[in-house]
Structure 1
Amino acid sequence: MDRRSLLLASGATLMAAGWTDQAGAVAAGIFEDVRQHGAIGDGVAIDSPAINRAIEAAAQRGGGTIVVPPGRYLCFTIRLRDNIALVLSAGATIIAASPETHGAHYDPPENYMEEQFQDFGITHVHNSLIVGDGVSNVAILGPGMLHGIGLDRAGPGERWHGRGQWQSAAALGITPREQALQNPEERAAVGRANKTIGLMNCRGVRLQDFTILQAGHFAVIAHGCSNVQIDGLVIDTDRDGIDIDACRDVRIVNCTVNAPKDDAIVLKSSYALGRPVLCEDILVTGCKTSGYLMGSLLDGTYRPSDYNIENIGPLGRIKLGTETNGGFRNIRITDCICTATRGILLGIVDGGTLEDVSVSNITLRDPFNHPLFIHHAARMRAPRGTSVGAVRRVQFDGISVTGARLPYPCGVEGIADAPVEDVTFRDIDIVARGGGTAEDAAREPEYRRETSLEVSYLGTLPAAGLYARHARRLTVRGFNLSLGAPDARPAVALRHVAGANLDAITSPAERAMVVDARDSTNVALGQISTA
């Protein structure tokens, strides 16, 4: 493709995406071809210096479009600037260089803090293949690919007062960075990278119509960003897909994420910004998530993954939580399909408030654990004195589940001193495998106040459809349970629930008890049917 054709094609891509920068780069035809700045694209030469020169040249003129023509571009860190659109042409692949082969030359991690309440990988973004820190009006557009083959899948853990080995940098008379680099794992991570795209404090971001393969620890992670649109990405990886942390006004639309060994789409509210910040006004719609073997989404074979952590199986789910310091508000997840994944998990464990969350029109096929679950706990991986959080006003509406497994009904698990409040399940249709025994029905699941968001410790729950403990004002209206095998457990089991309205519940006819509401008060039963 000659230069003129390439520029015309790139301009058409930008116009189709509806993206123009503040400097009017598209209208003015301001393009930078990375090959004119020295990029080779042969998969051997290191091309990140040339790509960064192209970005800098455009930035000096107020912004522009950086075109990556067809080819294989081996890169270390690429740094976005204000008013830049990076266009990955058809046939263009940016490949993360390997520190073992090419040297540890990624940008070093930043953002060292006295206490690090989240994993190393979440705390930093400079150690990414593509990084944007404090930039505005930026875009990465397809249809090309980012291949994170040289990125790390893991990294050092968190440093905080709840870990026995943690020591205060101030008490030691050193800086937090010096304290961190005393840790051999953190010292070894300098010069390496574990994220494909890392964004911090950015405004006006569009990521559209490209593919990410083998993305390291995170394919896309954004902290403290606003006005972000992620549209039409295809991600096939074996750790996290899309992580939205302490952000506002984010739309994740029409994305396909295969992530067998971690979360596919996850909202977080960590302490990576050095303070608790809400994650709010987020829309996730029209997305597909799965837990197939990495690479088998892109090659079309859809092979099962053998990942079996906690003896449950792959992950690949949609989640609110892991880190919850700032909380969540005004979240809508709708019109999504989740296949061969863990179910949808929402909760608070480190303080913060989760409120006004809607999950609707979801199809869950063959979930590996609880199809829908809300969990409140008090792990409190947060500054000393942080108050226990709250979970309230959550709605599940129009959910279809097939292939639900025996131990794992839907669930609500609060804590005695902070019950989950005002949760609604409406028009829920579950086809479960069944097989629960009388012993399962009699179980009293372990109660843990101080725990992470994961709920596998509960074991087999004493309900075939829905289990709730330590909740207030629970509404279940339109709950249809079908079973592949007889099950001795009730369809719905309530423990320490204060106020429940259960109506239009349908359960198999052989069940002796449809609703078991022991130790609960103000439980109103409407129409209960057996079929």
Structure 2
Amino acid sequence: MTIQESSAQLSRRAWLGKVSVPALTLAAAGMISAKVPENAAKSAIYDVRDYGAKGDGKTLDTAAIQAAIDACNAAQGGTVLIPAGVFMSGTLQLKSNITFYLSAGGKLLGSPKREDYTAGKGVPSGNGNIVFLYAVNAERLSIEGKGSIDGNGLAFYNGKGDNTGPGQKGIDGNFDRPHLLIFYQCTELRLHNTFLQASAYHCIRLLQCKQVYIDGIRIYNRVNKNNDGFHFSSCQYVHITNCDVQCQDDACALFGSNKFVTVTNCSFSTRWSIFRFGGGESQNIAVSNCLIYDTYGCPIKISAGRASIENFSFSNIIMKNVTGPIGIGFSGTSNNNQGNNPPAGKSFIRNISFNGIRASVVAVPVPHPDIHFELNFKEGEKNSCITLNAMDDCYLENISFTDVHVTYAGGGTLAQAGKHDVPKIAAEYFGVWDTAPGGPPAYGLYARNVKGLTLQNVRFELENDDSRPAIVFENVQDAAINGLSVQGSTSAPSLLRIVNSKDLLFTATRVLTPCQVLLSLEGPSNEGVQIDGGDLRKAIKQVAYSGGANENSLKLRT
């Protein structure tokens, strides 16, 4: 310690010695009292029973619960308590500065009667705005506690969905049913530790919200069609952690212009997709440390007509029993059926990375035993693969796969592997293959119109024989493939198929099981294809040329 530091320390001690303890205590008390509202003497807990709620599971407690919410908001904040009991209600409006707390034995149960619900005041009508709980322009709003919110959604099942899928445009769709939660233009929204279940429609819709913190939420939503988990539209600064989601439709849909979103330490299962993106300017999104299981319709799905999508990271993800498992489709033309405004400038999808992925892919989707209605499976979902699909003058740019290991069920046929025109469909990954001969022409990865593709330590394996190539590239430019390990089959025409692509470098490639041909090079526009080293011993033949392919376009060094 220097002399100057010692002097300074002594001077502080001397100063403190001259200040009496009562003076400090009064000063501290003054600081605290300045922050306490005038009505602090009153209880900050607004127990809904004090406002007339019965909690018997039969009486409609809407008016009493809303009265507690209104009183809490009028007092500039506090906690609205749902104590032990079953409190049945219709539409409720949450407001600023409120913690809506569900005790461990408390359940908020949705009324089974449609007349007990209204549209949220000020909530946009897209995908319907009938709702159980909602908030508009609220700040510092929380829903917390180990109790539950039950939407009683089975009471609203009529066999019809909203028909907002590709090409349906919502025609004759069922929108007259309540979402569980809708938040519109809310700021500093927190959802903690609560169990949400059985919505009649989407579970949680967040529209144009900012500073959203979701932690420890459990969702079980499998009683009705379009039973989404989280559904975001144009939100910013969203952080989802430690959640468990089992639903029937999209588990975490992000439409519109979502930015600065993180999802980590969560588990998901659904019939359709987990992370679904489409349209708008969706940028700067990171997903990590997640478990995905029993999911069909593609766990990670990016499908856009016109969009500005960039800077997505998916890392440390385990997928068990899925179809897909990754699908990116892009047409660059308007495909706006979600009510989102397409970007005004040039559209793009770029800078997407997949790191540390382990996946097992089933041959066909498997019905979930706890979904009571029949699910239709698409032809293109069978024998699925990773799909990167752009078209015409549009490209996917800078897509990377690092440390990715996928085990496929196999069973693909020669008809699938045959040379045929792949339809130009980008709305859904499986839509690309619905009109093809029973599915995709590759068992591992199909890529079309991709610039800047990187594969580093990627391994594709099979449980059963497959008569398709492991990888098909069509019009792929600037690709670096290092440490690729793939299983082959003597029934497949080739292990790798490259069509009209250029500037591809394969290094340290390993052929794990025998195959007839290592590489099928097709088309007159191939250029700068190099295979440099590796373990290629199990390929009976190195190269086959067709469709006007030139031998000068390939450099092979074994």
TM-score bracket relative to the smaller structure: 0.7 to 0.9
Provide structure 2 residue ranges, at least 5 long, that are not aligned to the other structure: 1-34, 364-381, 513-558
Aligned to 2:45: 31
| Cα displacement string for residues 160-195 of structure 1 (whole angstroms, at most 9, x for unaligned residues) | x99799xxxxxxxxxxxxxxxxx9977xx3xxx421
Aligned length: 441
Contact kept in structure 2, 1:479 and 1:506, CA below 8 Å: yes
Are positions 1:458 and 2:433 aligned together? yes
Please give the alpha-carbon distance, in whole angstroms, between the structure 2 residues aligned to 1:394 and 1:25.
52
Structure 1 residue 444 displacement after superposition: 2.9
Match of 2:100 among 86, 90, 98: 86
Please give the alpha-carbon distance, in whole angstroms, between the structure 1 residues aligned to 2:294 and 2:41.
45
Describe the shift of the 1:25–1:86 C-alpha distance in structure 2 as closer, same or farther (beyond 3 A): farther
Structure 1 residue 513 displacement after superposition: 3.2
Structure 1 residue 30 displacement after superposition: 1.0
| Cα displacement string for residues 321-380 of structure 1 (whole angstroms, at most 9, x for unaligned residues) | 3xx2x221000111111111023333242422110000111111110x211111113343
Letter in 2 for 1:222: L
Aligned to 1:199: 183
Contact kept in structure 1, 2:307 and 2:343, CA below 8 Å: no
- Pairwise mapping of residues 103-142 of structure 1 onto structure 2 (< 5 A)? 104-108=115-119, 119-121=126-128, 124=129, 127-142=130-145
Contact kept in structure 1, 2:414 and 2:467, CA below 8 Å: yes
Structure 1 residue 110 displacement after superposition: 5.3
Are positions 1:216 and 2:173 aligned together? no
Secondary structure of 1:400's aligned partner: strand
Aligned to 2:19: none
Larger Rg: 2
Contact kept in structure 2, 1:26 and 1:64, CA below 8 Å: no
Structure 1 residue 142 displacement after superposition: 1.8
Are positions 1:398 and 2:385 aligned together? no
Aligned to 1:414: 390
Describe the shift of the 1:524–1:26 C-alpha distance in structure 2 as closer, same or farther (beyond 3 A): farther
| Cα displacement string for residues 107-132 of structure 1 (whole angstroms, at most 9, x for unaligned residues) | 2355698xx8xx533xx3xx211101
Q: TM-score scaled by structure 2?
A: 0.73
Please give the alpha-carbon distance, in whole angstroms, between the structure 2 residues aligned to 1:185 and 1:432.
37
| Cα displacement string for residues 438-478 of structure 1 (whole angstroms, at most 9, x for unaligned residues) | 322224353225x5234334141111211101111111111
Please give the alpha-carbon distance, in whole angstroms, between the structure 1 residues aligned to 2:345 and 2:96.
38
| Cα displacement string for residues 25-57 of structure 1 (whole angstroms, at most 9, x for unaligned residues) | 999961111100111000111112111111111
Structure 1 residue 431 displacement after superposition: 1.0
Aligned to 2:255: 268
Contact kept in structure 2, 1:290 and 1:341, CA below 8 Å: yes
Aligned to 2:321: 366
Aligned to 1:143: 146
Aligned to 2:452: 473
Describe the shift of the 1:162–1:262 C-alpha distance in structure 2 as closer, same or farther (beyond 3 A): closer
Are positions 1:284 and 2:263 aligned together? yes
Secondary structure of 2:116's aligned partner: coil
RMSD across aligned positions (CA): 3.0
Letter in 2 for 1:340: D
Please give the alpha-carbon distance, in whole angstroms, between the structure 1 residues aligned to 2:180 and 2:101.
16
Please give the alpha-carbon distance, in whole angstroms, between the structure 1 residues aligned to 2:52 and 2:59.
10
Aligned to 1:432: 408
| Cα displacement string for residues 46-80 of structure 1 (whole angstroms, at most 9, x for unaligned residues) | 11211111111111111110111001111011111
Structure 1 residue 411 displacement after superposition: 1.3
Structure 1 residue 252 displacement after superposition: 1.1
Describe the shift of the 1:404–1:504 C-alpha distance in structure 2 as closer, same or farther (beyond 3 A): farther
Match of 1:255 among 227, 235, 243: 243
Contact kept in structure 2, 1:490 and 1:516, CA below 8 Å: yes
Please give the alpha-carbon distance, in whole angstroms, between the structure 2 residues aligned to 1:130 and 1:445.
49
Aligned to 2:376: none
Please give the alpha-carbon distance, in whole angstroms, between the structure 2 residues aligned to 1:184 and 1:318.
23
Higher RCO (C-alpha under 8 Å, 6+ residues apart): 1
Secondary structure of 1:240's aligned partner: coil
Contact kept in structure 1, 2:94 and 2:135, CA below 8 Å: yes
Describe the shift of the 1:514–1:144 C-alpha distance in structure 2 as closer, same or farther (beyond 3 A): same
